[in-house]
Amino acid sequence: EVTIQNDNLNDEFYRILEDENLDEKAQEKLEREFSTEMEVIKRDDRLETIAKDIVSHFPKRGYLGKGMVVSVDKFTCVKMYDKVQKYRKDEIKRLVGEVSKSKNEEQKVQLQKTLDFIRSFEMAVIISEDAGEEERFTKQGLDIKPHRKKINEIDENGHDIEYRFKDPNDKLQLVFVCAMWLTGFDAPTVSTLYLDKPMKDHTLMQTIARANRVTSHTINGISKANGEVVDYYNVFRNMKKALSDYALGDCKEEEQPVQDKSNLFTLLDDAITQGKNFCDSLQIDLNKVIENKEIFSKVKVFQSFADKLLEKDNYWKEFKVYENTISSLYEACKPEILEGQFRPMVPVFQYLRGVVDGIIGQTDIGAVKQKISDLLDQSVVTSNDKNVFKDEGAEFKIVKKGKKLDLSKIDFDKLKKEFKKKEYKNIEIANLREFIVKKLDEMLKENSTRTDFAEKLQEIINRYNSGGMTTENYFDELLKFTEGLKTEDERYIKEGLSKDELELYDILKSNKMTKAEEIKVKNAARHLLKRLLEEQPKVLVQDWFKDSQSRMRVKTAIEDVLDKDLPETYKTDLFKEKSQKLYELVYEYSSKGLKWVA
């Protein structure tokens, strides 16, 4: 209802508008010669409608990046700021009332998040300064002084307004511009442009580029998949001309830098179809979830799905690709997808992902549960088919399923017997494997010589994934591996050493040693640790690894202890090899601030 259809504007109109520093004569010429067009663009009821739309749209986007409102001139920038601020205050009042009235806790959390965002972000007008501006704005019934003060302000950290807007974590989120920051300005977390200014050619392309910058910065766990341009003026009728000037005039629609947002819905539907086809190939019937309104309370169905996904590593990896793609496109389709275009299969994929993540312990289950709860709550509010998924107060049972195992207390025979009775054997294997991976990671940090355990585990996994053993054999192999881990984890006690001394001993020992030689090597490990940590003169001084003389003192201290304590059978080559390996270990731990060297 606010877009403008006029293809007859001449080049002079665009040229005048591109000039940020319009003097009074130029402004008068603009208003006089293009009075009809300017009157339509600046019509107050039209600006009111746009301001309401911005207030509604800005907090409901998927990726809550920064935004720019592009208006026709400086006066309209200030007007739009005032109007958005007015409707923003109205929206805050409305949301406060909705939060207090809501009896659904999950809906209340969602409303509160929106309310917190609307309350928290700052806005600013960004226009250049010129002589006599206060008088000119006053004639228009506008006050430029507070905006000029903010533009020129340096915050408590010494940062100006441009730095603040470019900072992804700064609360300055929405700016109102007419020419400044449209070209030669780079803020990668800008994700939304609200265009309400006639533009074409180079200026149009440069402006669009503000929202298309790539960034790795995530907001609330959501990545920037695309930029979004809300076109109030209908500037995209000039897109083909701009593309031809950039030697892109012949590119196909799907290759153009700006596409209609409806294409995102097409991509989302295609991703859902491909994801469902993949699940169907594994006999995972996700349509059951859509057909049964109470399915989210029936965890057993999802456990059977999860068990199949965990059967092979590549099943789970491929499912995650589909789920990531679906979730990313869903976020990019906001807020329109919340307005009667909800895709009920989206939460099914996200819920199943959450169930499996809960089983294998790879994520914060509380966060996953809240994410799905929010999404389903939105579906109830926005879907034409109310209660598609949940009844009032439904509980979402994404819980941590993994067993808490203690390596020192594992009853291996009992685990074997229990496994035979389990319905979902792949889930049991995933639990055991998760425990093994975490424990092995801890043990590798304790002792760097244990890499052969990691290699052995990967060999077992690869053999199973290639079809070289049955599910039962796989579980047995993992149990045997765990028994070996237990023996290794307790070996320091058998050797009569501390865990740190054991690591040094493992580096120092040779393949064939007599009992007497073992004792000497253990003593060397004990003495070396004591020399480096306790004895004088101290060699592990702060940042010793950055200074060549300090490095030499550490190297000499190691060699002195080993020369004194190692068996005579350690000839020159072996002695040098062991000395160098120990020095490299101490250097690595020191430079990274790890373990006993930190």
pLDDT per position as a tens digit, 158-208: 999 999 999 999 999 999 998 888 777 888 999 999 988 877 656 676 777
Q: List, run by run, the mean pLDDT of 10-residue segments along the chain (598 residues).
A: 50 52 56 60 90 94 93 93 96 93 85 93 94 92 96 93 95 93 84 85 69 84 86 67 49 56 87 95 88 61 91 94 90 82 85 86 57 50 38 41 73 91 92 92 95 95 93 95 95 96 97 95 97 94 94 96 96 96 96 86
Pairing of the two strands 66-70 and 122-126: unpaired
CB 477, CB 460: distance < 8 Å: yes
Q: CA–CA separation, 127 vs 152, rounded Å?
A: 11
CB 433, CB 447: distance < 8 Å: no
pLDDT number for residue 235: 67
pLDDT number for residue 247: 46
Q: Encoding tokens for residue 225? A: 């998949």
CA 535 and chain centroid, separation: 48
Q: Encoding tokens for residue 415? A: 């685990």
Q: Which of 176, 150, 127, 174 is nearest to 20 (CA)?
A: 127
pLDDT number for residue 390: 43
CB 566, CB 553: distance < 8 Å: no
DSSP 8-state code for residue 538: P
Query: In which residue are the tokens 């409303």 written?
Result: 111
**SS3 (DSSP) at 42:** coil
Helices (H), 298-364: 299-309, 313-332, 345-360
Instruction: Give 243-246's long-range contacts (Cβ < 8 A, gap of 24+).
Output: 243/205, 245/201, 245/202, 245/205, 246/205
CATH code 3.40.50.300 for 13-86+120-250:
yes
Q: CA–CA separation, 382 vs 340, rounded Å?
A: 6
pLDDT number for residue 421: 92
- Preceding omega of 335 cis (within 30 degrees of 0): yes
pLDDT per position as a tens digit, 271-286: 999 999 999 999 999 8
Q: Which of 494, 506, 504, 569 is nearest to 530 (CA)?
A: 504
CB 1, CB 40: distance < 8 Å: no
Q: How many other β-carbons are positioned within 10 Å of the β-carbon of residue 311?
A: 19
pLDDT number for residue 426: 94
Q: Which of 11, 110, 50 is nearest to 233 (CA)?
A: 50
Q: CA–CA separation, 341 vs 87, rounded Å?
A: 25
Could you tell me what percentage of the chain is helix, strand and coil, using 3-state DSSP and rounding each to the nearest 5?
65, 5, 30
Surface-to-core class of residue 96, CB atoms within 10 Å of its CB (0-12 exposed, 13-18 middle, 19+ buried)? middle
- State which amino acid sits at residue 519: I
Side-chain-side CA neighbours of residue 539 (13 Å): 23
CB 318, CB 278: distance < 8 Å: yes
From residue 594, alpha-carbon distances to 111, 558, 589 in Å are 45, 19, 5
From residue 216, alpha-carbon distances to 65, 224, 226, 323, 326 in Å are 12, 7, 12, 19, 19
- State which amino acid sits at residue 492: Y
Helices (H), 246-312: 262-281, 287-291, 299-309
